[in-house]
Every structure is written in C-alpha cells, then in structure tokens.
C-alpha cells in the first residue's frame, strides 16, 4: 500500500498530465509551447521515482523536487523543483500535516521560487496565484478555519490570480519579449500552480 504523501504527489502528477495539452496551448500563446509537455514529463517521473513506501512528507517532496530538476527541462524545472525541495526541507521527518505545517511549506516554496526566479508578485508568473493563495490561507487558519476550508479559500484566490495575470504584461521569462502583447493571456505557470493547490485541497478533502 502506498503512503498518503505519495498518493497526493501522484494525484498532482495525474492532474498535470491530464492538463498537458491545455497548459501547452496556454504557453503557445505567450511562450514556447512546452509548459504542459515539460511538466507532464516531469511529473510522470515523479510518479515513477518517488518511493511509494516513504511516509516522510519532507523526504518525499525533496525527492519530487530533485526529479523535477532533472526531467522538466524548461524554466519550470528549477522553479517547481526548488519549490518542492524547499517545502520538503521544512517538512523533513513529518508524517502528518497540520495547518501550520502547510503554511510553513507554502512560505518556503514561495521563498524558493522568488530566490530562483527573482520575481515579485505582478510580473505574470506563478507567484500571482501562489502569493494571494498563501495570504488567504494564513488569514483563514489564523481565524481558526480547517486546513481544507483554508485551502478552499486559497484556491479561489489562486484562480483570481490567474484572472489577474490576463490583465498584466509579462516582465519575466520568454513572455517578456512580447511586452504588452502578452496582455489578455493567462499565465501558464499560474495555471499549473493553481491546479496543484486544487489537487492538494481535493486530496485532503478525501
């Protein structure tokens, strides 16, 4: 029988693989049409390489991050890879996840993505979904909400973040070459990030 953390990573992987063409089509508009293909390849490897028997959440996330680093190929590799590895570091040794653990993991993931991509909110990147989601998540758990309810509100914020990316021009990555022509298109990274959060929410909801 596989562990919960493995099952969650597998669910995220399956969601990304299911949305491969959708993510690639979004990337065709403003990028190099490889986001879905790259992410699907990376998560196929995650499903294959992360140990099904490891119940250590941190160690499993770290392994997933290392796998993404070496299999995605595009910018999402070091960005998602670093996010998973940094989240893994703060969850190392843990076999259960509290609302506060998830807060720390999200915080570490954001810091990792910012360190790697040198981006801020408002540059049409995955951070435009992740940072508002994190803010709402913290607010909800601060008010005593359950992890699932807080994540549910966070997912709404992440989806609003996707909508926000349609209204702004990209200043990072390949899409930045397009300047104002990138306005009107939603960011593929913000989209895959939101799919990830929604999958975690659905998984924890059981």
Partner 1 sequence: MVGLVIVSHSYKIAEGIKDLTDQVAPTHKGIVCAGGMEDKSIGTDAVRISEAIKQAESGDGVVVLADLGSGIMSAETAIELLEGEDINAKLVDAPIVEGSIAAAVTAACGSKLEEVIAAAEQTKAVKKIN
* Ordered DSSP codes for 166-196: HTS---SSGGGGGGGGGTTS--HHHHHHHHH
Site mask for partner 1 (CB under 8 A), range 13-42, x = bound: -------------------------x----
C-alpha distance from residue 127 to each of 47, 78, 98, 122 (Å): 25, 14, 23, 8
82 near partner 1, judged by CB under 8 A:
yes
Residue 163 beta carbon to partner 1: minimum distance, rounded to whole angstroms = 26
196 near partner 1, judged by CB under 8 A:
no
- The answer to whether the beta carbons of residues 174 and 181 sit under 8 Å apart is no
For partner 1, the binding residues in 135-194 under the rule CB under 8 A are 173-174
One residue of 36, 58, 77, 189 binding partner 1 per CB under 8 A: 77
One residue of 4, 28, 94, 116 binding partner 1 per CB under 8 A: 116
114 near partner 1, judged by CB under 8 A:
no
Tokens matching residue 162: 């996707």
Secondary-structure breakdown of the chain: helix, strand, coil percentages, each rounded to the nearest 5: 75, 0, 25
Binding site for partner 1 (CB under 8 A): 38, 66, 69-75, 77-79, 81-82, 116-117, 173-174
């Amino acid at each position: 029988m596989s562990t919960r953390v493995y099952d969650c990573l597998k669910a995220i992987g399956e969601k990304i693989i299911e949305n491969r063409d959708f993510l690639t089509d979004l990337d065709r508009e403003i990028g190099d049409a490889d986001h879905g293909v790259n992410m699907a390849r990376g998560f196929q490897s995650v499903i294959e390489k992360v140990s099904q028997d490891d119940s250590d959440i941190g160690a499993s996330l770290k392994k997933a991050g290392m796998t993404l680093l070496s299999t995605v190929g595009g910018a999402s590799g070091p960005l998602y890879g670093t996010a998973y590895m940094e989240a893994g570091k703060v969850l190392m040794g843990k076999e259960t996840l509290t609302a506060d653990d998830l807060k720390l993991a999200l915080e570490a993931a954001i810091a990792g993505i910012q360190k790697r991509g040198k981006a801020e909110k408002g540059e049409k990147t995955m951070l435009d979904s992740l940072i508002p989601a994190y803010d709402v998540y913290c607010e909800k758990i601060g008010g005593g909400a359950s992890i699932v309810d807080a994540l549910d509100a966070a997912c709404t914020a992440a989806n609003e973040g996707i909508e926000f990316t349609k209204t702004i021009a990209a200043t990072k990555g390949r899409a930045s070459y397009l300047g104002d022509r990138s306005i009107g298109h939603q960011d593929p990274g913000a989209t895959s990030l939101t799919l990830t959060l929604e999958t975690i929410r659905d998984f924890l909801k059981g």
